[in-house]
Amino acid sequence: VSNGEPDRAAIVRKASRWLKKRYGRRNGEWAYWPVVPAVFVEEPLALSGGTIATDIKVHLCSGVISHVWVEDKHAKRSLLFDRDANPLPGRDPDYPGEDQALPVNARLVAYVRQAISIAPGIAGDLDYIRIDFLVTDDRLYAGEVTVYSAAGYGTWTNPAIAGEIERLWRLDQSAFLRRKHKRAVRLYADALRARCRSGTTNR
């Protein structure tokens, strides 16, 4: 919102439409269905696109970082890091070209290390979560927290990242399987527990 556009009436109309919807149904993101929609109004941030990055996304399984995904949405570039803030080869779904790799600099690595130190405290022991931070010139700001990265359809061209997620993500220890369920959901949960115990899958 800037220079009076869009006006208040337009914002209220659009926000009212948002509030009537239940998020996550289109892509089957069932964990979002019980969430009651709400509108948050925040001050815009001057993100450091073009100099550092705009977003740092930390992926964790049971509190352990699998990898970090850094994006500069202004320059349409990105880079992957391991849990020790070392750059990784391979690309991501948003910016798949090798010419879209984000250059490494000391400030970027410092921010990645800071995000790595903060994210596990937010994630707790959830079996999978992605913690996002917005990047400005002087600090990180907490951003999105999601259990459905790319609505659950994201892929990685780096086989090491895929392998690390497979190694760390234990469905038999998931929040879903730790809870008691009823009716059809209970049947599904029992079948998934049996599959995990059989050793045919742990993800």
Domain total of the chain: 3
| 140 and 71 co-located in one domain | yes
| 56 and 30 co-located in one domain | no
Per-residue pLDDT tens digits for 18-69: 999 888 888 888 888 888 889 988 888 999 998 899 999 999 998 999 999 9
92: number of Cβ within 10 Å: 22
Say if CB 75 and CB 50 are below 8 A apart.
yes
| 133 and 66 co-located in one domain | yes
User: What's the predicted TM-score (pTM) here?
Assistant: 0.87
| 153 and 174 co-located in one domain | no
Q: Which structural domain range is residue 195 located in? A: 170-203
The better pLDDT of the pair 161, 69 is held by 69
| 124 and 53 co-located in one domain | yes
Residue 195 lies in a domain: yes
| 50 and 141 co-located in one domain | yes
| 137 and 52 co-located in one domain | yes
The proportion of the chain whose per-residue pLDDT surpasses 90, expressed as a percent, equals 58
| 3 and 73 co-located in one domain | no
| 3 and 90 co-located in one domain | no
| 74 and 136 co-located in one domain | yes
Specify the pLDDT at position 203: 46
| 179 and 98 co-located in one domain | no
| 180 and 140 co-located in one domain | no
Report how far residue 123's alpha carbon sits from residue 104's, in angstroms, rounded to the nearest whole number. 26
Residue 138 lies in a domain: yes
Q: What is the DSSP secondary-structure string of 110-161?
A: HHHHHHHHHHHHHHTT-SSEEEEEEEBSS-EEEEEEESSGGGGT---S-HHH
